[in-house]
Amino acid sequence: MSELDRALTACAENVEEYLDRLLPKSEMPEARVIDAMRYATLGGGKRIRPFLLVQCAGLFSVSESRSYRAAAALEMVHCYSLVHDDLPAMDDDDMRRGRPTVHKEFDDATAILAGDALLTKSFEVLADPDTHGNASVRANLCLVLAQAAGDHGMVGGQMLDLVAEQSQLDIPEITRLQRMKTGALIAVACDMGAIMGQASNAARQALHHYAHDIGLAFQIADDLLDVEGDAEEVGKRTGKDEAAGKATFVSLLGVERARDQAHLLAEQAAAHLEMFEEKGEHLKQLANFIVTRRK
Ligand code: GRG
């Protein structure tokens, strides 16, 4: 196991523990929605966004007890997006993270409610003084996450994706769509870490550039997995883009050029971290992991 693998595994275990604590089981009559929230968040996922947040916060010596709360909050937003994306009205998927999707395990209405409750729970956690002692830092965390998750970010990108089913996008249009749909949440992970660490403008800017590049590299890697990946290994249905006739980086550039582009972005991303010296090592390694991952 590489040093990065060990760090990712330790992060995933911590995220699991914080999510478990922040989403306690209940005996109340509404327990079903909590069960669905736990099902959606626990026991799976690479936890890349939490890893980014905790690593970036670590550059500024933020305590892990705080950064993992924010990381769990961010993962809740990511999981909500997956639950809603899998619904019959959207991608209509039966399998996610190697097991039945939330609406298959529960039902559509419960999946909608679980997604809604995860989104709001995330902001409840961020606004709690346990997440940061400084109220303006907490407000800023809520602001940037709302901007990244909403109509200017992930939701807007998802809308563009649905609209694009009626048209063939070109590379600049796909880049904008993906920056919103996938890139915004990846970028905000780094920004939240910087905000928690009350980083200098220069440091925040460097992380912003890093996040920008890995966000796009992540999406190209996701497109490649959709074409080349094995559903069992990836943990979800593959070949979806081609079946839907969707233009992607891979369909427009071809496999080889898309892969080269992803690797170039990963190298470029790592180069933005020079100012952090060896403290940025895990983040540099993550850029490479993102483009070589098999799931
Ligand atoms: C429904 C509001 C709403 C948004 C949906 C993010 C998203 C927008 C949909 C997910 C569908 C998808 C395949 C997006 C492409 C990249 C992506 C976000 C993949 C899943 O993220 P990973 O690989 O998943 O980090 P794990 O399971 O490891 O957490």
- Residue of 181, 220, 225, 238 with the most ligand 1 atoms within 8 Å of its CB, for mutation: 181
- Domain hosting 285: range is 3-292
The pLDDT score that the predictor gives to residue 101 is 98
The string of DSSP codes covering 66-85 is HHHHHHHHHHHHHHHHHHHH
- Residue 246: pLDDT over 90: no
The Å distance, Cα 2 to ligand 1 centre, comes to: 26
Provide the Cα torsion 260, 261, 264, 269; round to 10°. -140
Query: How many domains, the chain?
Result: 1
Residues 119, 79, 82, 250: is their CA dihedral positive or negative? positive
* Max CA distance (Å), the chain: 54
Q: What is the atom index within ligand 1 of the atom nearest the CA of 46? A: 28
pTM comes to 0.95
pLDDT band at 232 (very low <50, low <70, confident <90, very high): confident
pLDDT tens digits for range 44-85: 999 999 999 999 999 999 999 999 999 999 999 999 999 999
Q: How far apart are CA 49 and CA 31, in angstroms?
A: 28
Q: Any idea what the CATH number is for the domain that residue 192 is in? A: 1.10.600.10
- Residue 168: pLDDT over 90: no
The pLDDT score that the predictor gives to residue 41 is 98
Going by alpha carbons, the residue nearest to atom 19 of ligand 1 is 222
The pLDDT score that the predictor gives to residue 260 is 96
Q: How far apart are CA 132 and CA 225, in angstroms?
A: 37
The closest alpha carbon to 15, from 57, 60, 49, belongs to: 49
Contact residues of ligand 1, CB 6 A cut-off: 45-46, 48, 78, 81-82, 84-85, 90, 97, 154-155, 158, 181-182, 222
Residue 188 CB contacts under 8 Å (≥ 6 apart), including other chains: 74, 144, 145, 147, 148, 149, 153
pLDDT tens digits for range 3-36: 999 999 999 999 999 999 999 999 999 999 999 9
Structure tokens at 19: 């999510």
Structure tokens at 114: 């679980």
pLDDT tens digits for range 113-161: 999 999 999 999 999 999 999 999 999 999 999 999 999 999 999 999 9
Q: What is the atom index within ligand 1 of the atom nearest the CA of 157? A: 8
